Copies of this chain bind each other. A is one copy, B any other.
Amino acid sequence: MQKKENVSMSVIRRLPRYYRFLSELKKNGETRTSSKDLSERMGFTASQIRQDFNCFGGFGQQGYGYSIPQLCIEIEKILGIDKTKKCILIGAGNLGRTIAAHVPFASVGFQLTGIFDSNDDLVGEEIGDQAIRPYHTVHDCIRQEKPVMAILCVPRDSVEEIVKALYADGLKSFWNFSHYDISMDYPDAIVENVHLNDSMMTLSYKLTNIAAKKE
């Protein structure tokens, strides 16, 4: 029943996958499951699933299993999905638009409250329910609207400058789609990188090597 002080990042990184899977089950009307059942369907060991769920206080029931809706709620609480956090998006190019349109911010705990671009031709254009705002107004926005995170969808060579400015304005969290590594320059910033190239390189390795080894 006791919560662990430090839940390790390895556990946290598995939670979204549990959440995704359990939400699906819930949608299908299933109400209970067990570590054994989940292990067969998700490919983790039952032992690991129990360890994971127990990091944040045992809410299973011996001899019975876990309640799916309750598991969903608990994971929402742990991940902070139940608390809305404001975020802004910098760069309304191809990538920025796709993210603004594609990512269901509300259901992962965020609210997108501003889209900024330095290109005057784009300013004013509507994306979803947002009008693109001029980049130079981002500083006022940070001060007044107090977003907690910026999504970086800008070209490689402007990232450095932009992050420096946003950081100076007090923004310390970034969802980084550029290939510029912020983490060394701002070790206290919270950064989550989505480096598509890196993901492709890993895939390239698997294709070339794992596939070759099988033969």
Q: List residues of A whose CB falls within 8 A of some B CB.
A: 12-13, 15-17, 19-21, 41-43, 78-81, 83, 85, 94-95, 97-99, 101-105, 107-110, 148-149, 173, 175, 179, 181, 183-184, 187, 190, 192, 194-211
In the assembled complex, the CB of A65 is this many whole angstroms from the nearest CB of chain B, namely 20
Chain B positions within 8 Å of A98 at CB level: 94-95, 97-98
Across the interface, do A80 and B202 meet the contact criterion of CB distance under 8 Å? no
- Shortest C-beta distance, A35 to chain B (Å), equals 16
Residues on B with beta carbons closer than 8 Å to the beta carbon of A81 = 201, 204
Residues of B within 8 A of A102 (CB): 94-95, 196
User: Is the beta-carbon distance between A204 and B17 smaller than 8 angstroms?
Assistant: no
A–B complex contacts, Cβ < 8 Å, 23 sampled: A13-B202, A16-B197, A17-B198, A42-B184, A79-B202, A85-B208, A94-B97, A94-B98, A94-B101, A95-B102, A102-B196, A103-B196, A103-B197, A104-B197, A108-B197, A108-B201, A109-B208, A110-B204, A173-B203, A175-B199, A190-B206, A190-B211, A192-B203
